[in-house]
Amino acid sequence: MRPLRPFNFNTSAELFPAAIRKKKRAGFTYRRFGTAAEAVQFAMEQLPTDSLNGAYLQVEEARFDQNGIRSLYESEAFPLPRRPKPAPAETDAADAA
């Protein structure tokens, strides 16, 4: 078995979100990104969960499903800053204000 090549986050990418059947209005549609890093960040931070479920990312000849996109986002090699996860206490305090 040959080792996998390192993923190049600087390669252009195409994101194909899943259609949201429950909603009558149009959801997110196909989008092309200059870098795979931007596509991964958009998918994880901007897409609604129901659009991410069933979405796929095309980078050159490779396709990544929802789990693959999440793995790329959580990878140590991911080059962009990730949106900080709010602590449960912070969200409760914000709701109370």
pLDDT at 19: 63
* Centroid of chain to Cα 83: 12
93 or 78, which is more confident: 78
User: Residue ranges per domain, the chain?
Assistant: 13-96
Decide if pLDDT at 92 tops 50. yes
pLDDT in tens, 9-61: 999 999 997 765 555 445 668 899 999 999 999 999 998 888 888 899 999 99
Query: pTM here?
Result: 0.76
pLDDT at 5: 65
C-alpha span between 48 and 66 (Å, rounded): 12
Phi-psi category of residue 21: left, alpha or beta, with phi > 0 → left and psi -120 to 50 → alpha = alpha
